[in-house]
Chain A
Amino acid sequence: MMTRPNFFLTALLAIGCAGMSGGCKPSAVESKGEAAGEPIKIGQFASLTGKEATFGISSDEGTTLAVEEINAAGGVLGRKLKLLTEDTQSKPGEPATVVNKLIARDGVVAILGEVASSRSLEAAPICQQSQIPMISPSSTNPKVTEVGDYIFRVCFIDPFQGTVMANFARKTLQAKTVAVFTDAKSDYSKGLAKFFKEKFVANGGTIAVELDYNGGDKDFKAQLTAIKAANPDAVFVPGYYTDAALICVQAKQLGLNVPFMGGDGWESEKLVEIGREAVEGQYFSTHYHPDVGSEQSKQFLQHYRARWQGKTPDALAACAYDSVIVLADAFKRAGSTEGPKVRDALAATKDFAAVTGNISIDTHRDASKAAVILQVKDGKYKYLETVAP
């Protein structure tokens, strides 16, 4: 929606450039903008529609709030920030298209996105090649930042999240056997399942059975029947909320009444909307909960509610907010918006006080932060505990 008028502008620009024999280089557009003291263009790609729509919408709300606050305080380097948002429709293939457009046509100086690791992984090589720093707010698969030295994230990674949930299953839930039910289409799900299994087995637990589904499936009864036959103490479903909710519903129908656990992919109001009583009492780990946190986090909660009609922010909104303030901080320290300088500044981020905790970017360009474990209670997410790395 926001990009509509801009789209025509860029289309015009592209046509103009095509007319000239020299072609159109993004750097040319950027330096022109810089010289004129125009706003700093930041690109965001998010799943605003489709099966993970609430991820994209939450992220976009967090990002927008952060950009507006920074601009209200005078911007960065004496220039305002301008956010250009593109929708990935929760589909593979789209991220590459829209990120290419943001970089080549719109000439953005940094990219923010996505939540789903598979989609971040699609955009990362493009940003790396164009030397445009990319910050993923909440993709937790380790492979994302391994793409190259321009790719960062402001959240923890799955080896940590898997460990947290494995410890929780073994120690808090006292589960001896766990069934693992993985989305074979998703890098996030496969990674999280792998780290969970390793830690759970190391803790002396047994994996009762491992089954796969394909994200977007509707019928999970076949796999759930096999899981029920294996008689586990708990089931770990490291998938996204739509599938997780349907899995819980169909498990209830089949009389599989053991605790279900998931990762940050579960966090969405849709989980409760689709899952209803079937998701009551289930557990998942995530990045943030409004009930706990620093002064920074309380302030964020207030501002977010004021900006978005009283809506309570979820972890994805908080992470997206953090991705913007970390980027703005890097612009300030770099004193420039040029890719290599911003990259160096981002890599040097140390103890930056953000909403989801203090962010230090490590040598793998990941943030090391605490995780929280939540439980679904009366259709709300109840805070259980914080696990430090």
Chain B
Amino acid sequence: MTEVFQQLINGLALGAIYGLIALGYTMVYGVLRFINFAHGDVFMLGAFAGYFFAPAVNRFLPAQSYLGGALVLIASMAVCALIGMVIEFLAYRPLRNRPKLTVLITAIGVSLLIEYTCQHAAVFGAAPRKFPDLIPATTWHVGGLVIASTQVIVLVTTLSLLIALRFIVQKTKVGTAMRAVSFNEQAAVLMGVNLNRIISFTFGLGSALAAAGGILYAMNYSSIEPLMGVQTGLKAFVAAVVGGIGNLPGAALGGLILGIVETFAGGIPGLSNYRDGIAFAILILILLFRPSGLLGKPQIEKV
């Protein structure tokens, strides 16, 4: 029984990170109707930003403090928000009125560009690096359960970011504009919404969440490398589709489901080899039986 609860904790921590990244996929899809495949690489850049910010922050704050960790998190989120906006400005904006397929292929190109540039010895190099411990590494023993401080931080951070995101999207003016663009782009523009600004903002917000995911992932699993975003990004994309692409709570839910199922599969002898495949098996099942995702509403195409 202890094992089941332990796996649940492991799975929740992993799922929460998938959820954070999935939110970025889903937001961009909601507004622009295309999949930003470079999103997984922004996740990786977030982790690397944290790697380089940590020593800088340690200069005026003690290493492994919660405040220092929060500062690193915020700084990396800010940097990645900027990177996300730059990517949109340089790569996607010029193609705004082209077919969606053109943008999609460009996104794959941007993703490969980031991955291979970062693998170059002059940038990060291909070798994995040890991620510094940002917060005090303590473990709590509850019954037979072992809960690491990093796991708690992952859950707390994810939950607070989700609440913040919900507030931004539902209660603020810019959030209302985002929803308006998602609902009907042309009508939103006619109502005086600045389309470029809203799209930039969406990319910034999604990239900041990916950066947070990157930091949390690196904190939890302690090693980073330039290709870390490939598999994780793909899983988060699956999570977004499973939850219903374009639907924010759906992305979080999809992430949690994926994290938990994958973790349980990983703990079963004979099945542990297939844990990566399970995410895609779930994707296929969902596409077969609920193509619009768990929380997505079926869209009726008018002919």
On A, residues with C-beta under 8 Å from B are: 49-51, 53-54, 89-90, 184, 209-214, 216, 218-219, 221-223, 225-226, 228-229, 242, 245-246, 249-250, 253-255, 270, 273-274, 276
Contact = CB atoms under 8 A, between A and B. Distances in A.
Contact of B267 (A90, A225, A250): A225
B217 A222 contact: no
Contacts of B266: 211, 219, 222-223, 226
A46 to B, nearest CB: 13
Nearest to A1: B121
Interface stretch (B6-14, B22-30, B190-198, B291-299): B6-14
Contacts of B119: 49
A225 B8 CA distance: 11
B126 A221 contact: no
A225 B13 CA distance: 14
Interface residues of B, number: 41
A218 B121 CA distance: 22
Nearest to B119: A49
Interface in B273-299: 273, 275-276
A120 to B, nearest CB: 20
22 contacts: A51-B126, A51-B127, A90-B126, A184-B273, A211-B267, A211-B269, A211-B272, A212-B273, A218-B221, A218-B223, A221-B10, A222-B262, A223-B267, A225-B6, A225-B10, A226-B267, A226-B268, A228-B6, A229-B267, A242-B223, A246-B223, A273-B130
A184 B148 CA distance: 28
A191 B202 CA distance: 49
B222 interface: yes
A119 B220 CA distance: 30
Nearest to B11: A222
Of B148, B223, B268, B276, most buried by chain A (CB within 10 Å of CB) is B223
A326 B276 CA distance: 43
A246 B272 contact: no
Interface string B259-272: 00011111111001
Interface in B201-227: 217, 220-223, 225, 227
Contacts of A221: 10, 14, 263
3 nearest A-B pairs in the assembled complex, by CB-CB distance? A222-B266, A226-B267, A212-B273
A360 B127 CA distance: 35
Contacts of B10: 219, 221-222, 225
Contacts of A228: 3, 6
Contacts of B225: 51
B125 interface: yes
B254 to A, nearest CB: 18
Contact of A210 (B11, B130, B217, B269): B269
Contacts of A54: 127
B121 A49 contact: yes
A222 B272 contact: yes
Contacts of B126: 49-51, 53, 89-90
Interface of B: 2-3, 6-7, 10-11, 14, 119, 121, 125-128, 130, 137, 139, 141, 146, 148, 150, 217, 220-223, 225, 227-228, 231, 262-269, 272-273, 275-276
Given A218-B223, A255-B146, A274 B128 contact: yes
Contact of A226 (B220, B227, B269): B269
Contact of B221 (A226, A246, A273): A246
B11 A214 contact: no
Nearest to A276: B130
A184 B273 CA distance: 6
Of B125, B127, B130, B268, most buried by chain A (CB within 10 Å of CB) is B127
Contact of B3 (A51, A211, A226, A253): A226
Given A51-B127, A229-B3, A222 B221 contact: no
Contact of B276 (A214, A229, A250): A214
B146 A222 contact: no
Given A225-B267, A274-B130, 15 more contacts: A51-B126, A53-B127, A54-B127, A184-B273, A211-B266, A211-B267, A211-B269, A219-B14, A223-B267, A229-B2, A250-B222, A253-B146, A254-B148, A255-B139, A270-B128
Given A50-B127, A213-B272, A225 B7 contact: yes
Contact of B141 (A213, A216, A255): A255
A256 B13 CA distance: 19
B272 A223 contact: yes
Nearest to A181: B272
A165 to B, nearest CB: 21
A175 to B, nearest CB: 19
B127 to A, nearest CB: 4
A213 B266 CA distance: 8
A244 B222 CA distance: 13
Nearest to B150: A253
B201 to A, nearest CB: 31
A253 B223 contact: no
A209 B121 contact: no
Nearest to B5: A225
B54 to A, nearest CB: 16
Contacts of A211: 266-267, 269, 272
A222 B267 CA distance: 5
